[in-house]
Amino acid sequence: MKKGHILGLGVIAVAIVIIVSSIGDASSYESFSTAKAMAQEGDDDPIHVVGQLAKDSMGTVTGLEVSDDKTSFTFTMVDNEGTSQQVYYNEPVPADFTRSEQVVVIGSYKSENMFVADKILMKCPSKYQETELKEASL
Amino acid sequence: MINTFIGNLGHLMVILAFVSSLITAYSYYQYTVVPEIEKASWRKFSRIFFYIHAVSAISIGVILFNIIHNFRFEYFYAYSHASKALPVHYMISSFWEGQEGSFILWIFWDVILGLFLIHTNKSWEGPVMVVFSLVQAFLVSMILGVVIGDLKIGSSPFILLRDVANAPIFQMNPDFVPEDGTGLNPLLQNIWMVIHPPTLFLGYASTLVPFAYLMAGLWTGKYKEWIRPALPWTIFSALILGMGIIMGAYWAYVTLNFGGYWNWDPVENASYVPWLIIVASIHTMITFRKSSTALKTSIVLIILQFILVLYATFLVRSGVLGDTSVHSFTDLGLSGQLLIYLFFFMFVAIFLSARAWKNIPTSEKEASVYSREFWIFIGATTLGLMAFQVILPTSIPVYNAIVESFGGISNMAPPADQIEFYTKFQLWFGVVLALLTAVGQFFWWKKMDKKELKNALATPYIISLILAAIIITVAKVWNITFMVIVMAATFTIVANATILSKLLKKSTFKLAGGSLAHIGLGLILIGVMFSSGYSDVISLNMSGLTYKRDWEDELNKENVLLWINQPLQMKDYEVVYRGRNKKLEGVPGYVNVNKLESTDNVNEAIALEDINVNGKTYHKKGDKVNIVLEENSYFEIEYFKDQQHQFTLFPMSQPNPTMGLISSPDSKHFLNKDLYTHISAINSYDDPEWGEDEFYEVTPGEQFHLGDYITTFEGGEVMEEVEGVELEEGDVAVKAKLVIQDHDKQIHLDPIFLIRGNRIGKIPTVNHDLGVKIQVDNISPETNKFVFKANNYQKDYVVMKALVKPYINVLWIGTIIMLIGFGVAIYRRYDEFVKMRDKGLE
């Protein structure tokens, strides 16, 4: 075999390792119910859940509880299937949290009733995009 | 009054720039293909049109800046990106905050590069400028703003607010102009954001130059001659894009609060991947220049780097990253157009290369293991694999989008812990690169066989092992992966330093580019490893139980709550929060908010007492002072060690009306580490909800508990004059002197009680730091008792996070050395090109 071929095979091998590991480490977007089922089967890999904060009829966020030392909080999130779930996040409340249109939590179930988020991504109406014109500012 | 002229002028310039770029492309095409005798007139014609294009493209920028700078809020772009409070240098950031502005920046750089190429090339001018003008036409079309039915071509920065907004006010008054704009994203209000985007876009724009030379070469049959003029530009791209990326990382480090400089966010990856490919292409091109191999690889890589820049643009601007990135743009409806742009050049490049492929010279000779070509090729392959490893998972949202466009459902998400995922690969690739550069450099400068290689490498190898052992012991690197990194990095540093010293002895600094860049690589590896791998959160919350006992071990709280004036032990340091400050124009340092009273005007305040810094009085009591960006507060955090004050940090926060709290950290820079502090949450302070009234009846000299504070009532004092009140004959004004002891700090509160005839007036004192409002409710002269009415709110606090980043300076120094290396290499390669051109060979 020529050296070039060995090299080529080596590159292909590394590329396959990369592809396999990317697929293996890729997370997935799930709903709370599937996440719970996964946790009960002992699979505690972090997954992504997309949803909104629970809000009352006035549009105010409900279920947000900040710990006494203000360094962690729990909130209620409703996923796209409509399941409502309490989520714990071990960081101070992100400032634009209650304004978010959509929340992505990355984490897993640590106990029966509590989803623990390792990371929260928020999509805010105004973040990095042309601001929607607000009547109030006119 | 609405000024529609300037916007129409801008739009006209956009159309002119678009049309002129198409004409230039056509005429340069003619110039390239016509017989020699007609060339002169076609060249003149093409140049005139490119100048017209240049002038109109630059005018677009000038006009847009004029709209922002003159606060023409009747324009949507100015309204949504600027505001009156911004200083001029941040207005520059406003310019490229929006997608349209950043496209203008890109167009501008291409124009500058094009002008440069016209005047430095002889035979290459025609075909290169055809590619250039075509790219310009695509870029300008992004801001064309033409809507035909459902088809939208480009998004114009010159549209009026009233044409976009559905606000009812425009039906009543079409000439309405808002008072102020919505302003610049506070995260972008940073000096690095003024210079980072132009640098990055120059890097992006410059990737076009080698691509254009390649296309020109493939088209005109100069299959290998294109390398010489393209090489300095490829290194230029690597330098500028690398600099832009590092500036972005530095901006993230000093402004954003994720506690680092690199987060493997898709947007960051999208700029890193083309950079890797550019660096790989430099190496294969250099190999070709030395030994006529690797030409086909160079062609593939040059095409790839250009297409990857377009792909990066697509990822960032199409909205496809919406769920995965914290900082991508949203869709302006340009994604289709961006895809056409990408596929157009991809197909042209593939077509031209395929046509030329069998004519491209290759070397049949098998590269020996003891040849430099072999080692450089492995290096370039490693860089390619690094790029592949990053772009593959970064594109996950694109796969989902593709699957969904065919009606399928794909719920794949990027790796949950991106930092860990990418780092575990990239660090090992980095180690491989470091080893390759160490060995490769020896091959580069000398013909080698097995024995010679051993001799050449033995000394650097031993020196680097000793050095690595010292670093490992002194810095306590007890992790096997990190030990390997230290060894590989010191090896490349020592080996390249050996080469460098040999080159310098021969006084050929011109040739030192490679070894400098590789030394930089070694330092970067060490710097990244220490600052990230040994990053230490020192603000661990030891205050008590975590939320749930059963997860206690896993959930360390990395933030601490600091009440004002109340010290807290944090690892080696004791920290105290001392209150809020503002920055004043012309006054060094920061000024406590208690010394200022804001007025109704933007960025203006009245000094409540003299403002002294270092013995110099900058403002007298009652002066009007100018605040630098009133929205920004600087939170004073004192650090103590063994009761000794060490230093004070002022992390910044801005409660932004649309984005919530925006924080920027402050760092104490030591030679061997940074101590990084940022604010995660603050007390809302402006309109406190005061608690219920509480009454206290006290005699002078008595101590009492005001809320949590031990308070001494020192007594009343009859006043001759009261600020803000005209005292009349017979008026009595009494000031009650209260002293609160809050830890080591004494705070004086002096509410005033006024008697005029049978009416009384009460002037309360408010202290926001303590969250106390107190007034004298009554005085009973018979019993010599004062009745105070007090309301409590919350004492001021911050929640903060502190990290130690060891040896981060090694990282910054490494990048600077690497960039200098690129600079030296550009000089050398450009010099070669100029010499050949002047001989009439290019």
Tens digit of pLDDT for each residue in B72-120? 888 988 888 888 878 788 888 888 888 889 999 999 999 999 999 999 9
Mean pLDDT on A60-69: 84
Cβ contacts of B336 within 8 Å, gap of 6 or more? none
Q: Which of A46-55, B22-31, B712-721 is most confident? A: B22-31
Token pair, residue B455, equals 């001799």
DSSP H helices in B34-87: 36-69, 76-81
Q: Which of A50, A118, A131 sits opposite B416 (nearest CB)?
A: A118
- Distance (Å, rounded) from C-alpha A100 to C-alpha A127? 10
- pTM for this predicted structure: 0.89
**CB proximity A136 to B under 8 Å:** no
| SS3 label, residue B762 | strand
Judging contacts by C-beta atoms under 8 Å, the chain A residues touching residue B412 are: 26-29
Mean pLDDT on B267-276: 92
Q: How confident is the model at residue A131 (pLDDT cuts 50, 70, 90)?
A: very low
Mean pLDDT on B724-749: 84
Is A70 in contact with B799 (Cβ distance < 8 A)? yes
Is B98 in contact with A28 (Cβ distance < 8 A)? no
- pLDDT at site B169: 75
Partners of A105 in the β-ladder: A49, A120
- pLDDT at site B8: 92
CA distance to partner chain B, nearest, from residue A93 (Å): 7
Judging contacts by C-beta atoms under 8 Å, the chain A residues touching residue B169 are: 138
Q: What percent of chain A has pLDDT over 90?
A: 7
Is A91 in contact with B680 (Cβ distance < 8 A)? yes
Q: Which of A25, A69, A121 sits opposite B421 (nearest CB)?
A: A25
Among the listed ranges A124-128, B58-62, B350-354, B624-628, which one has the minimum average pLDDT value?
A124-128
Q: Which of B412, B662, B663 sits opposite A28 (nearest CB)?
A: B412
- Position with higher pLDDT, B15 vs B169: B15
Q: How confident is the model at residue B20 (pLDDT cuts 50, 70, 90)?
A: very high
Mean pLDDT on B223-231: 91
- Distance (Å, rounded) from C-alpha A17 to C-alpha B433? 18
Whether the predicted pLDDT of B548 surpasses 60: no
- pLDDT at site B658: 64
Q: Which of B326, B385, B421 sits opposite A15 (nearest CB)?
A: B385
Residue of B nearest to A24 (CA): B415
Whether the predicted pLDDT of A60 surpasses 80: yes
Residue of B nearest to A114 (CA): B548
For B44, B593, B740, the CA distances from B596, given in Å and listed in that order, are 64, 5, 21
Our CA angle for B645, B649, B651, nearest 5°, is 155
Mean pLDDT on B336-362: 91
- Distance (Å, rounded) from C-alpha B357 to C-alpha B69? 52
| SS3 label, residue B423 | helix
Q: Are B557 and A90 in contact (CB under 8 A)?
A: yes
Q: How confident is the model at residue B324 (pLDDT cuts 50, 70, 90)?
A: low
Most B CBs within 10 Å, among A129, A132, A134, A135, to test the B interface: A129
- pLDDT at site A136: 32
DSSP H helices in B318-395: 335-356, 372-394
| SS3 label, residue A82 | coil
Tell whether ipTM is more than 0.85.
no
**CB proximity A38 to B under 8 Å:** no
Judging contacts by C-beta atoms under 8 Å, the chain B residues touching residue A124 are: 659
- pLDDT at site B366: 60
Token pair, residue B627, equals 């605040």
- pLDDT at site B331: 65
Mean pLDDT on B538-566: 68
- Distance (Å, rounded) from C-alpha B24 to C-alpha B50? 6
- pLDDT at site B426: 92
- pLDDT at site B279: 96
**pLDDT, tens digit, 9 for 90 and up, residues B403-441:** 888 888 888 888 888 888 898 899 999 999 999 998 887
Residues in chain B: 842
> Letter for the amino acid at B579?
G
Token pair, residue B640, equals 């103590």
Q: How confident is the model at residue B629 (pLDDT cuts 50, 70, 90)?
A: confident
Q: How confident is the model at residue B814 (pLDDT cuts 50, 70, 90)?
A: very high
Judging contacts by C-beta atoms under 8 Å, the chain B residues touching residue A104 are: 323
Is B76 in contact with A130 (Cβ distance < 8 A)? yes
A–B interface: beta-carbon pairs under 8 A: 165
Judging contacts by C-beta atoms under 8 Å, the chain A residues touching residue B160 are: none
- pLDDT at site A135: 34
Is B178 in contact with A138 (Cβ distance < 8 A)? yes
Mean pLDDT on B150-176: 80
- Distance (Å, rounded) from C-alpha B13 to C-alpha B144? 10
- Position with higher pLDDT, B100 vs B554: B100
* Most distant CA pair in chain A, distance: 75
Token pair, residue B93, equals 């950031």
